[in-house]
Amino acid sequence: MLDYIKGEITELTPASVVIETGGAGYIAHISLNTYSALSSLKTCKLFVYESIREDAHQLFGFSEKRERELFLHLISVSGVGANTARMVLSSIAVYELEGIIASENAGALKAVKGIGSKTADRIILDLKGKVKISGTAAAAPNAVLSEAAREAVSALTMLGFNQPASQKVVNKIHSENPALSVEEIIKNALKML
């Protein structure tokens, strides 16, 4: 079982990364959060999960161990596969997902493409006691649930922007300056989208 791969990034897309180490190139499927973390790097240490099935051998890569732990928790839930777990981690930051599970906010999970109400409820029920809230989640209490952030994401979505991308940008802006009004959040988000 592989724990991590350390090497040169030879190819990087929002869905995958190729890391060359020891003369071999390893392709790993990644989340958008990991893509953002790797986008400015030439070399990296990527924590991996190796999925071995009859029809495929796949690597899933994560920029930090906490993201891999959440991925493993998600795929342990009945009905949640590796690609669905990767979609959840692409749409919601690690600390936000921990907060969503702890606060039993199924609505925030249903906003993720491919997650219905039954799956959202099952994720919360199965992971409530397993997922620990990190210091970051406690320090930034659910930016995803703030009224100004929700309104800003809704407005950006109505303007035609992708919901997960809007959510990520708004959460970043809101976490840096929680006192901003909805209008100020939207103005800043438009510059970043």
pLDDT tens for 32-49 read: 889 989 988 999 999 999
69 lies in the same domain as 135: yes
Among 13, 39, 62, the domain-final residue is 62
pLDDT of 163 strictly over 70: yes
Long-range CB contacts (within 8 A, 24+) of 71-79: 73/127, 73/130, 73/131, 74/123, 74/127, 76/126, 77/119, 77/122, 77/123, 77/126, 77/127, 78/122, 78/126, 79/118, 79/119, 79/122
Same domain, 118 and 74: yes
Residues 134 and 159 in one domain: no
Q: What is the pLDDT of residue 134?
A: 60
78 plus 99 within the same structural domain? yes
Q: Are residues 70 and 28 in the same domain?
A: no
Residues 74 and 125 in one domain: yes
List pLDDT tens digits, range 123-160.
999 998 888 766 544 444 444 446 778 788 888 877 88
Query: What is the residue range of 152's domain?
Result: 146-192
**CATH number, residue 152:** 1.10.8.10
Q: Which two tokens stand for residue 14?
A: 């929002």
pTM (two decimals) = 0.69
- CATH number of the domain within which 12 lies: 2.40.50.140
Number of domains composing the chain: 3
